[in-house]
Amino acid sequence: MSTSMTLAEAIRARRSIGKVQDTPVDKNIIETILEAGNWAPSHHCTEPWRFFVMTGHGRKVLAEAYADIACEGSDAAGDELEALRAKQGLKAYRAPLIIAVAVTPSEAANVNRREELAAAHAAIQNMLLAAHASGLASIWRSGDPMYHPRMKSAFGLGDESEMVALIYLGYPVNPVHPGKRGSFEDKTVWISEFSAAQA
């Protein structure tokens, strides 16, 4: 994290930003983001997250998956089909850096699959905060194509694994504006005593 930014500032100032410059991201910054994700908590220390870093022509892996999924079951043919493939494939080039995050749950008997997913989500939040502290804009993309079997095969994931995020990263085009949140008090219940009615 930048020495000029506190954790509280990073949490409050981070935003989901989809419009970024084409400027490549330095490998040292990418590794800082990956390191942040790798230090997320996980039950039984399973570290179930897996990272796939796509830059340059490497983004074609994602582009081809997007295109195949969009064309599956489509009635389009010929030029129309090629136009559909091209349009969907462009989704992979909306940022110079994309990090796909997957979870491969531990097969240990005492491990709960839902906790493995929660751990991967914690890793993603760490990565988003590290990206913001490094001066990058980011957005956590998901949606039905991300959960499609074709997306799994694109990254060599087995049946037991799940894709949980496509993080698009780059330097912001526009200034980052302050966000808004409702008060935490409206979402919080304080419990300091126990009564028989709660039993």
**Is 142 labelled a binding residue?**
yes
**Is 14 labelled a binding residue?**
yes
Can you say whether residue 83 is alpha, beta or left, with left for phi > 0 and alpha for psi between -120 and 50 degrees? alpha
Rounded CA Rg of the chain? 20
Residues with Cβ within 8 Å of residue 69, at least 6 apart in sequence: 88, 145, 148, 150, 151
**Is 181 labelled a binding residue?**
no
Give Dmax over CA atoms of the chain in angstroms: 71
**Is 43 labelled a binding residue?**
yes
**Is 141 labelled a binding residue?**
yes
Q: Which residues of 86-100 are buried (b: 16+ CB within 10 A; e: fewer)?
A: eebbebbeebbbbbb
Question: What residues are designated binding site?
Answer: 14-16, 43, 140-142
Binding-site entries for FMN: 14-16, 43, 140-142
